[in-house]
Amino acid sequence: MSKDTSVLLDEKRVFKANYRIVEEAHVKNWEAEIEKGQDLEKYWSEKAEQFEWFEKWDKVLDESKKPFYKWFTNGKINLSYNAVDRWVFTDKRNKVAILYANENGEERKLTYYELYREVNKMANALKNLGIKKGDTVSMYLPMCPELLISMLACTRIGALHSVVYSGLSVGAFVERMNDSNAKVLITADGTYRRGKIIDLKKIADEALLQCSTIEAVVVVQHAGNPITISELSGREIFYDTLIDGESDECPVEEMDAEDPLFLLYTSGSTGKPKGVLHTTAGYMVGVATTLKNVFDIHDGDLWWCTGDIGWITGHSYAIYGPLLLGTTTMIYEGAPDYPDPGAWWKIVEKYGVTKLYTAPTAIRHLMRYGSKHPNLYNLSSLKILGSVGEPMNPEAWMWLYKNVGKEKTPIMDTWWQTETGMHMIAPLPISPLKPGTPTLPLPGIDADVVDENGDPVAPGKGGYLVIKKPWPAMFRTLYKDEKRYIDVYWNKIPGGVYHAGDIARKDEDGYIWIQGRSDDVLNIAGHRVGTSEVESAFVSHPAVVECAVIGKSDPIKGQVIKSFIILKEGYQLNTKLIENLQKHVRYELGPVAVLGEIQQVDKLPKTRSGKIMRRILRAQEEGEDLGDTSTLED
Ligand code: PRX
Residue-wise pLDDT for 122-142, tens only, equals 999 999 999 999 999 999 999
Query: Measuring from atom 11 of ligand 1, which residue has the nearest CA?
Result: 417
pLDDT at 322 over 50: yes
Residues contacting residue 145 through CB under 8 Å, at least 6 positions apart = 98, 100, 108, 110, 118, 331
- Per mean pLDDT, which range of 81-85, 183-187, 533-537 is the poorest? 533-537
Ligand 1 centre distance from Cα of residue 172 (Å):
20
Beta-sheet strand order (sheet of 328-333): 107-111, 96-102, 328-333, 302-305, 355-358, 384-388, 411-414
- Strands (E) across 112-221 are located at 136-140, 160-163, 184-188, 191-193, 196-198, 216-220
Whether the per-residue pLDDT at 1 is higher than 70: the answer is no
Ligand 1 centroid, distance to 418 Cα (angstroms):
8
Cβ contacts of residue 458 below 8 Å, gap of 6+? Answer: none
Cα(53) to centroid(ligand 1), Å: 32
**DSSP per position, 319-369:** IIHHHHTT-EEEEEES-TTSSSTTHHHHHHHHHT--EEEE-HHHHHHHHTT
Of 291, 488, 492, 502, the residue with max ligand 1 atoms within 8 A of its CB, to mutate for a pocket test, comes to 502
Tens-digit pLDDT profile for residues 356-383? 999 999 998 999 899 999 999 999 999 9
Q: How far is the CA of 575 from the centre of ligand 1 (A)?
A: 35
Helices (H) and strands (E) in the chain, counts: 21, 30
Predicted local confidence at residue 233, as pLDDT: 67
341 alpha-carbon distance from chain centroid: 24
How much is the pLDDT for 54?
98
Question: Would you state the pLDDT for residue 3?
Answer: 37
Per-residue pLDDT at 145 exceeds 80: yes
Q: Which residues pair with 209 in a beta bridge?
A: none
**Ligand 1, atom nearest to 316 Cα:** 14
Q: Which of 307, 267, 175, 316 shows the shortest CA–CA distance to 523? A: 267
Protein residue closest via CA to atom 22 of ligand 1: 390
Q: How buried is residue 123: exposed, middle or buried, by Cβ count under 10 Å (0-12/13-18/19+)? A: buried
pLDDT at 150 over 70: yes
For residue 270, which amino acid is it? T
Report the pLDDT value the prediction gives residue 8, as an integer from 0 to 100.
Answer: 47
What whole-number distance in Å separates Cα of residue 91 and Cα of residue 318? 22
Contact between 329 and 317 under an 8 Å Cβ cutoff? The reply is no
Q: Which atom of ligand 1 has the smallest separation from the CA of 516? A: 1
pLDDT at site 243: 98
Residue ID of nearest Cα to ligand 1 atom 6: 417
Q: Which residues 6+ apart lie within 8 Å of 69 measured at CB?
A: 61, 62, 63, 470, 474, 476
pLDDT for 374 equals 97
Cβ atoms within 10 A of the Cβ of 326, count?
20
Distance from residue 264's CA to the centre of ligand 1 (Å):
15
Nearest CA to ligand 1 atom 14: 417
Please say if the pLDDT value at position 526 is more than 90. no
Query: Is the pLDDT confidence value at 5 over 70?
Result: no
User: Higher model confidence: residue 599 or residue 268?
Assistant: 599
The three-state secondary structure class of 190 is coil
DSSP symbols for 503-526: EEEE-TT--EEEEEESSSEEEETT
Distance 114 CA to ligand 1 centre (A): 34
Distance CA 535, CA 520 (A): 12
176 lines ligand 1 (CB under 6 A): no
Residue 441 above 80 pLDDT? Answer: yes
Mutate-to-test residue for ligand 1 from 390, 439, 474, 521, highest number of ligand atoms within 8 A of CB = 390
**Which residues on adjacent β-strands are paired with residue 552?**
560
| Separation of CA 222 and ligand 1 centre (Å) | 31
Ligand 1 centroid–CA 415 distance in Å is 6
Tell me how far apart the alpha carbons of residues 71 and 60 are, in angstroms, rounded to a whole number. Answer: 5
Per the model's pLDDT, the better-predicted residue between 60 and 612 turns out to be: 60
Phi, psi angle pair for 607, to nearest 5°: -80, 170
Round to whole Å and give the CA distance between 212 and 436.
46
Chain Cα centroid distance, residue 125: 28
Q: Which atom of ligand 1 is nearest to the CA of 500?
A: 16
Integer angstrom CA distances of residue 398 from 144, 188, 379, 404: 32, 39, 16, 10
Report the atom number in ligand 1 closest to the C-alpha of 521. 1
Across the range 452-469, mean pLDDT stands at 95
Q: Is 137 helix (H, G, I), strand (E, B) or coil?
A: strand
In the structure, what pLDDT confidence band is assigned to residue 624 with cuts at 50, 70 and 90? confident
Report the alpha-carbon distance of residue 437 to residue 389 in Å, rounded: 12
SS (H, E, C) 53-79: CCECCCEEEECCCCCCCEEEECCEECH
Q: Which residues contact 242 (CB under 8 A, 6 or more apart)?
A: 125, 129, 218
Assess whether the C-beta atom of 383 lies below 6 angstroms from ligand 1: no
Of 417, 488, 511, the residue with max ligand 1 atoms within 8 A of its CB, to mutate for a pocket test, comes to 417
> Is the minimum distance from the CB of 354 to ligand 1 under 6 angstroms?
no
The Cα 136–Cα 181 span in angstroms is 7
Q: Residue of the nearest CA to atom 15 in ligand 1?
A: 417
Q: What is the pLDDT of residue 593?
A: 86
Average pLDDT over residues 164-175: 93
Measured distance CA(262)–CA(185) in Å, rounded: 15
Instruction: Check pocket membership of 388 for ligand 1, CB cut-off 6 A.
Output: yes
How are the residues of the chain apportioned to helix, strand and coil, as percentages rounded to the nearest 5? 30, 25, 45
For 278-302, the pLDDT digits (tens) are 999 999 999 999 999 999 999 999 9
Please provide the average confidence, as pLDDT, over all residues in the chain.
93
Q: Give the whole-number percent of the chain exceeding pLDDT 70.
A: 97
Chain mean position to CA 342: 25
- Ligand 1 centroid, distance to 559 Cα (angstroms): 13
Report the pLDDT value the prediction gives residue 521, as an integer from 0 to 100. Answer: 85
Q: 43 alpha carbon to ligand 1 midpoint, in Å?
A: 25
Distance in angstroms (rounded) separating the CA atoms of residues 204 and 169: 9
Q: How many CA atoms lie within 13 A of 81 on its CB side?
A: 18
Q: What is the pTM of this model?
A: 0.92
pLDDT value for 10: 61
Closest CA to 189 of 220, 167, 147: 220
Q: Which long-range contacts (CB under 8 A, 24 or more apart) does 409-412 make?
A: 409/382, 409/383, 409/384, 409/385, 410/15, 410/17, 410/21, 410/384, 410/385, 411/384, 411/385, 411/386, 411/387, 411/435, 412/294, 412/295, 412/357, 412/384, 412/385, 412/386, 412/387
Task: Please give the distance, rounded to the nearest whole angstrom, from the Cα atom of residue 316 to the centre of ligand 1.
Answer: 14
- Cβ 328 under 6 angstroms from ligand 1: no
Q: What is the mean pLDDT of residues 179-196?
A: 96
Nearest to 504 by CA among 609, 612, 613, 390: 390
Instruction: Tell how far the Cα of 242 is from the centroid of ligand 1, in angstroms.
Output: 38
**Among 411, 414, 512, 528, which residue has the most ligand 1 atoms within 8 Å of its CB, making it the best to mutate?**
528
Residue 263 CA: distances (Å) to CA of 139, 475, 482, 554, 585: 11, 10, 14, 31, 25
C-alpha neighbours within 13 Å on the C-beta side of residue 440:
16
Question: Which of 306, 316, 320, 416 is the best mutation target for the ligand 1 pocket, counting ligand atoms within 8 Å of the beta carbon and taking the most?
Answer: 416
pLDDT for 19 equals 84
pLDDT at res. 532: 81
Q: Mapping DSSP to helix (H, G, I), strand (E, B) and coil, where does residue 29 land?
A: coil
Q: Is the CB of 358 under 6 A from ligand 1?
A: no
3-state SS assignment for residue 583 = helix
Which pLDDT belongs to residue 175?
93
- What residues form DSSP beta bridges with 433? 15
Is 70 exceeded by the pLDDT of residue 2? no
Residue 631 pLDDT: 67
Q: How many CB atoms lie within 10 A of CB 134?
A: 10
* Tally of residues, the chain: 634
DSSP structure string for 81-113:
IIIIIHHHTTTTTTSEEEEEEETTS-EEEEEHH
- Count other C-beta atoms under 10 Å from residue 240's C-beta: 12
Band of the pLDDT at 557, cuts 50, 70, 90?
A: confident
pLDDT over threshold 60, residue 6: no
Give the model confidence (pLDDT) of 563-580 as tens digits: 999 999 899 999 999 999
* CA 261–ligand 1 middle distance (angstroms): 22
Q: Which residue's CA lies nearest to atom 5 of ligand 1?
A: 417
State whether the beta carbon of 501 lies less than 6 angstroms from ligand 1. Answer: yes
What pLDDT does 634 receive? 61
Residue 524 near residue 530, CB atoms below 8 Å = no
pLDDT band at 536 (very low <50, low <70, confident <90, very high): confident
Residue nearest to atom 2 of ligand 1 (CA): 390
**pLDDT tens per residue, range 225-255:** 988 777 556 799 999 999 999 999 999 999 9
What is the structure's pLDDT at 528? 85
Q: What is the 3-state secondary structure (H, E, C) of 208-257?
A: HCCCCCCCEEEEECCCCCCCCCCHHHCCEEEHHHHHCCCCCCCCCCCEEC
Task: Give the Cβ contact number of residue 402 at 10 Å.
Answer: 12
Largest interatomic CA distance in the chain: 72
- High-pLDDT (> 90) share of the chain, %: 81
Provide mean pLDDT across the span 79-91: 97
Instruction: Please choose, from the candidates 92, 226, 87, 221, the residue with its C-alpha nearest in 3D space to the C-alpha of residue 146.
Output: 221
